[in-house]
Amino acid sequence: MICSKAHAPSWNILNHPNKQLDVIPVLNRKLLRWYQRQGRDLPWRSTSDPYHILVSEIMLQQTQVERVKTKFPHWLQRYPTMHSLARSTPGAVLRAWQGMGYNRRALQLHACAVQLVERFQGDIPRDYSTLRSLPGIGPYTSNAILCFAFNIRVVVIDVNVTRVLSRIFHRQHTESDRLGAQQVAELGRACLPRRAYRNWTHALMDLGALVCTARSPRCRECPVRNECASCSILKPLPKTVASEPRTVPRRIHRGRIVELLRLRHRASFSDLGKHLKRDFTRADHEWLADILESLFRDNMIAVTNGRRVLSLPDSLSEIVTLDFTLPD
């Protein structure tokens, strides 16, 4: 058992909607009080600057919060405004992104800045459909920008919010019992307070990150344990057993190539091959060429000096048709 309570609440908000008015106000008050005392102090939460919010949300995609906390102020020092980012080059942006992983996000952020300057003079639009038309901006990021930058009352649901709402309102014995995305969205809309919705969203995110964690929820510390339908019945996830080493994923090789070009600026085909494989031979040429072609399609590398030397694209003019000759 995760929680020491004798029994979990028998009600389920999905089956008993008349309970909403009784439970939600109490739940929200407890969440907001907890957030005031225990919420994380994150730099992007102390601003409503739309550009800062955009940068933070792109950075937070698939990256741990602590790493983003370190990179965020350095990025804003390098690119303090939307216009300064738009004026930069893909190669410079990739270098500034060092340490964040998933390098495609950096190029999408740059492309987004270019479009915003061209279409909206650097301003970020306040409507969902226009935000969704921008590079790298999906449904979650669109709603996050609307809520955190413009204080618009919309539901912002990430993995932590999904976990917390599902556990509170649905009797979960295991993680496989989690509610579906549409049900969680309906719950979010039902619970969203009329005023403090920005802090309420942050409270759910922090509760999921700090207390109601995926693997080992700490129910004794939870401020809404008395309202939670899963408190005494949710079983912790079993410990994962280390699997046999697998083939290195393609994205890892792509990341290593970009990292080498950040450090050396220029590298030959053979240099890259030996960087990825100590025993790199001609038999690996087609494999490496295929990886390089994928990077080129994503505008992450450029080919110069007679199409034999590769680099990060420091100007759009360097992004030409990839047709280098494989070395003998």
Task: Determine phi and psi for 266, rounding to 5 degrees.
Answer: -135, 145
Best CA proximity match to 28, nearest among 246, 224, 308, 215: 224
Token pair recorded at residue 113: 């800045």
Catalytic residue among 57, 221, 286, 293: 57
Length of the chain in terms of residues written = 328
- The two tokens of residue 212 are 């109601």
Identity of the residue numbered 164: V
Per the DSSP assignment, residues forming a β-bridge with 311 are: 266, 302
Whole-number Å distance between alpha carbons of 264 and 90? 16
With a CB cutoff of 8 Å and minimum separation 6, the contacts of 108 are 58, 135, 136
β-pair type (309-311, 302-304): antiparallel
What does the block give as tokens for 103?
């390098």
Rounded Cα–Cα distance for residues 296 and 310 (Å): 10
| Whole-number Å distance between alpha carbons of 4 and 152 | 39
Active site residue 57: yes
Task: With beta carbons less than 8 A apart as the criterion, state whether 94 and 106 touch.
Answer: yes
CB 141 within 8 A of CB 124: no
Could you give the residue numbers annotated as active site? 57
